[in-house]
Amino acid sequence: MSSHHLRHVESMATLPSGAGSIPRLNAVILGEALASEEDDLVFPSHDFSRQALVPNPQKYLEMYKRSIEDPPGFWSEIASEFYWKQKWVEHQVYSENLDIRKGNINIEWFKGGTTNICYNCLDRNIESGNGDRIAIYWEGNEPGLDATLTYTQLLDRVCQLANYLKDIGVRKGDAVVIYLPMLMELPIAMLACARIGAVHSVVFAGFSAESLAQRIVDCKPKAVITCNAVRRGSKVIYLKGIVDAALVESSQNGISVDACLTYENASAMKREATEWQEERDIWWQDVVPKYATTCAVEWLDSEDPLFLLYTSGSTGKPKGVLHTTGGYMIYTATTFKYAFDYKPCTADCGWITGHSYVTYGPLLNGAGVVVYEGAPNYPDPGRCWDIVDKYKVTIFYTAPTLHVTRYSRKSLRVLGSVGEPINPSAWRWFFNVVGDSRCPISDTWWQTETGGFMITPLPGAWPQKPGSATFPFFGVQPVIVDEKGVEIEGECSGYLCVKSSWPGAFRTLYGDHERYETTYFKAFPGYYFSGDGCSRDKDGYHWLTGRVDDVINVSGHRIGTAEVESALVSHPQCAEAAVVGVEHEVKGQGIYAFVTLVEGVPYSEELRRSLVLAVRNQTRSGKIMRRILRKIASRQLNELGDTSTLADPNVVDQLIALADC
Ligand code: 6R9
């Protein structure tokens, strides 16, 4: 770290009186006991802080304090910046019971208010004169293949699809499963559902037919939206085939889906080569463009469901995390704005990946997003940076790869990291090399369940410590408890819980409120339990230490032990299985399986491999294996670990060659 990034602590030494001890940023602000640890602190540059939304710790503390002491005032002020058909009940900004001992768990925000998140993403920005601003930049797998949509064009497309969905009978409250790769049609489909009050459930287009079927059976969608195929790197993945298999499996479980809207992704596969079922399958291009480009908005209650997103649990089937309309809208908009210090700019703004933060957070803020179809290392490892330069991306939120210095990256302002604890050396590499020691890193801790960032740096506000997610976002009260559920103060480590609700909290697990209560609210009554371990240092910084329950976090991918066990026992030669997570130097955690074979079956290397394959086929997440890139980048080639679950394991050798290791 060079000295010009170290701002003098004295310049921040005025703490507003009464800021109290929430959170304990005081030592840092006051410069107490910092001398010996100065090297651990990375200060935002003067230039960055000066123009940041939250330019110093005092401002953060002031806002944070208000968010905790007066949640209704704090959140209704923010919510008023959005469009509400009808305002929420004034004295009831939120109501909650998070204490299982006092009855059912219940969280409600902006009750009685009616709004629509699609309207707030699109119509509102267009009405304020920004219709010609680019909303989505799309970059195809093949360099040179790209497209853009302005806010106005995006609204037209969304309305056409919304009208089509209504025409085939999709109504408010109906589920729609979206199994699409990173095409523009993915956010279009999400927004179209939101516009008419249908509940979208996006299934990652890398999940197997079994996983897709499981989700279809659980949420019983009126329609499935997919595309015929996608190109990732040099591979073509035949998605429609996976959907066909999933629909067969679903119907065997009593759930039949009437409509499968299929986008012809012609650059990957021609429609002639696609398997087809006339009465069920429809080409997107044949029907959707015929519909009107305006579609009336369905005004929804704040607590009407917006989407379902399945995530792994420690037992049983995946959990359908349910998010509702009003609170989620306000929370994603606000976390995006502050954690990435987003300000509307006339230059092109963009960003790369994420679920809530691809569509809702950025569009609610009038930002432009880059949707990239392909693999991050195709045709070469510089592709991400090529995209950054091409679109003048300011916020980059994904896995860092290689060959950075050939590209300018001048447009970058903030880097984001998510999914697993980032270790201090990876942090420094991201900061020094990718961000040229210029861009703050937002190491955002959150979960599918939390709807948005929970513990995250506000990039201009205070010094960072490499590897720490720093302090809570506005309105979030993280607590660390011991095994008995007693809050521990000061420097400590234990179980990470959250006291009281925040607007983006999930409201239930679809169809299983009891499981919601048991999984998240029973372990430590009175609190939401995240399942993560965490320690807090003497300056109040938070350090996430990984999962403490039966969910294994392998390189950022949440895998339930039960999921792996059921994959194993589905193998004809496996009678029983028990799975545990073991500490793994490279992956954070690795999977260790004990299996009992069917009587008479001898154990062999071949059998072992076919068991591993069964697990892989049924649990693969398709997440980028950042830990491998990290090892290549830091030249630790003998520590690459298992590369076999990569979509294309050969890529590792190519990367090593390119990195001149
Ligand atoms: C957003 C997302 C959630 C789990 C979470 C934790 C881990 C996420 C992290 C992090 C350390 C971070 N996690 N962000 N650990 N530092 N910045 O990844 O959601 O897929 O539901 O996973 O990921 O263990 O509990 P999800």
Residue with CA nearest ligand 1 atom 12: 445
Beta strand pairing status for 492-499 and 477-481? Answer: antiparallel
Tell me the mean pLDDT in the region 241-261: 97
For the ranges 34-43, 200-209, 513-522, the lowest mean pLDDT is seen at: 34-43
Q: What pLDDT does 21 receive?
A: 41
Q: Which of 528, 558, 627 to mutate to test the pocket of ligand 1 (most atoms within 8 A of CB)?
A: 558
In this predicted structure, the answer to whether residue 30 has a pLDDT above a threshold of 60 is no
Cβ neighbours for 94, distance < 8 A, ≥ 6 positions apart: 71, 72, 75, 107, 108, 109, 110, 111, 327, 501, 503
> What distance in angstroms lies between residue 445's CA and the mean position of ligand 1's atoms?
6
Lining ligand 1 with CB less than 6 A are: 311, 418-421, 443-448, 469, 530-532, 544, 547, 553, 558
CA distance 343 to 366: 9
Q: What is the pLDDT of residues 120-131, one digit of tens each?
A: 999 999 999 999
CA of 645 to the centre of ligand 1 (A): 20
Mutate to test the pocket of ligand 1, among 309, 312, 418 (most ligand atoms within 8 A of CB): 418
Helices (H), 570-640: 605-619, 626-633
Q: What is the mean pLDDT of the chain?
A: 86
**Average pLDDT for 602-620:** 84
Q: Residues 6 or more apart from 220 whose CB is under 8 A from it?
A: 175, 255
Q: 624 C-alpha vs ligand 1 centroid, how far in Å?
A: 14
Q: What is the mean pLDDT of residues 270-281?
A: 95
Q: Are 418 and 444 in contact (CB under 8 A)?
A: yes
pLDDT in the model for residue 47? 87
* Pocket mutation for ligand 1, best pick of 312, 314, 319, 420 (most atoms within 8 Å of C-beta): 420
Q: Give mean pLDDT, residues 646-650.
A: 61
Residue 354 has pLDDT above 80, yes or no: no
* Residues 176/222, Cβ–Cβ less than 8 Å: yes
* pLDDT tops 60 at residue 288: yes
Atom of ligand 1 nearest to the CA of 449: 21
Cα angle for residues 294, 298, 302 (degrees, 5° grid): 140
CA dist 197 and 171 (Å) reads: 7
418 Cα to the center of ligand 1, angstroms: 6
**In the structure, what pLDDT confidence band is assigned to residue 26 with cuts at 50, 70 and 90?**
low
Burial of 490 (0-12, 13-18, 19+ CB in 10 A): exposed
Residue type, 147: A
- Say what the pLDDT of residue 24 is: 56
Q: Which two tokens stand for residue 564?
A: 């792996």
Hey, what are 394's tokens? 């300011």
Q: Which of 179-193, 347-361, 618-632 comes out lowest in average pLDDT?
A: 618-632
More confident residue, 497 or 346: 497
Q: Which of 553, 557, 587, 623 best tests ligand 1's pocket when mutated (most atoms within 8 Å of CB)?
A: 553
Element (H, E) at 248: helix 239-252
- Catalytic residue status for 39: no
Please list, in sequence order, all residues whose beta carbon lies within 8 angstroms of the beta carbon of residue 213, skipping any fewer than 6 positions away. Answer: 245, 246, 247, 249, 250, 253
Q: List the one residue out of 365, 372, 331 whose CA is nearest residue 345.
A: 365
Question: Closest ligand 1 atom, CA of 544?
Answer: 11
Q: Which of 333, 355, 439, 354 is nearest to 399 (CA)?
A: 354
Say what the pLDDT of residue 3 is.
33
**CA–CA separation, 161 and 456 (whole Å):** 36
Supply the residue whose CA is at minimum distance from atom 8 of ligand 1.
419
**Rounded alpha-carbon distances, angstroms, from residue 80 to 75, 129, 232, 429, 476:** 9, 19, 42, 40, 20
Is the model more confident about 436 or about 554? 436
Q: Judge contact between 339 and 457, C-beta under 8 A.
A: yes
| Whether 502 contacts 319, CB under 8 Å | no
The pLDDT of 373-394, averaged and rounded, is 87
Specify the 3-state DSSP secondary structure of 208: coil
Average pLDDT over residues 162-167: 98
pLDDT score, position 627: 58
From residue 275, alpha-carbon distances to 240, 245, 370, 462, 656 in Å are 8, 11, 31, 56, 39
Q: Tell me which of 549, 550, 653, 660 is the catalytic residue.
A: 549
The span from the CA of 395 to the CA of 439, in Å, is 10
Pick the residue whose CA is nearest to atom 11 on ligand 1: 421
Alpha carbon distance 302, 115 (integer Å): 7
| Residue 530 Cα to ligand 1 middle (Å) | 10
Residue 357: predicted pLDDT: 80
Q: Is the pLDDT of residue 37 over 90?
A: no
- Name which residue sits closest to atom 22 of ligand 1, judged by CA: 447
3-state secondary structure 262-280: EECCCCCCCHHHCCCCCCC
CA of 287 to the centre of ligand 1 (A): 39
Structure tokens at 611: 């068991």
Q: What is the gyration radius of the CA atoms in the chain, in angstroms?
A: 24
Whose Cα sits closest to atom 17 in ligand 1?
445
Residue nearest (by alpha carbon) to ligand 1 atom 26: 447
Closest C-alpha residue for ligand 1 atom 4: 447
Q: Which residue has the higher pLDDT, 325 or 430?
A: 325
Ligand 1 atom closest to the Cα of residue 557 is 20
Mutate to test the pocket of ligand 1, among 322, 447, 453 (most ligand atoms within 8 A of CB): 447
- Nearest alpha carbon to residue 8 among 43, 55, 59, 57: 43
Residue 542 confidence (pLDDT): 95
Greater model confidence, 131 or 641: 131
More reliable by pLDDT, 196 or 144: 196
Whole-number Å distance between alpha carbons of 625 and 418:
13
Percentage with pLDDT > 70 across the chain: 86
Whether the CB-CB separation of 266 and 230 falls below 8 Å is answered with: no
Q: What's the pLDDT score for residue 259? A: 97
* ipTM here: 0.98
Query: Do residues 176 and 198 make contact, with C-beta atoms less than 8 angstroms apart?
Result: yes
The number of the ligand 1 atom at minimal distance from the alpha carbon of 354 is: 1
Take atom 10 of ligand 1 and give the residue whose Cα is closest. Answer: 420
CA of 315 from ligand 1 middle (Å) equals 18
Nearest atom (ligand 1) to Cα of 355: 1
Angstrom distances, CA of residue 203 to CA of 189, 225, 553: 12, 10, 19
pLDDT of residue 458 exceeding 60, the answer is yes
Residue 169: count other Cβ atoms within 10 Å of its Cβ. 11
On the question of pLDDT at 347 being above 80, the answer is: no
Residue for token digits 């523009």? 184
Give pLDDT, residue 352.
41
Helix axis angle, 626-633 to 651-658, nearest 10°: 30
pLDDT of residue 613: 87
Q: What mean pLDDT comes out for the span 359-364?
A: 90
Tokens of 208: 């197997």
% of residues, the chain, pLDDT over 90: 57
Q: How far is the CA of 633 from the centre of ligand 1 (A)?
A: 23
Distance 545 CA to ligand 1 centre (A): 11
Scan for tokens 């590897």, then name that residue. 467
pTM value is 0.81
Tokens encoding 73 = 């005032």
Looking at ligand 1, which residue's alpha carbon is closest to its atom 16? 421
In the predicted model, what is the mean pLDDT of residues 397-419? 75
What is residue 559's predicted lDDT score, i.e. its pLDDT?
Answer: 75
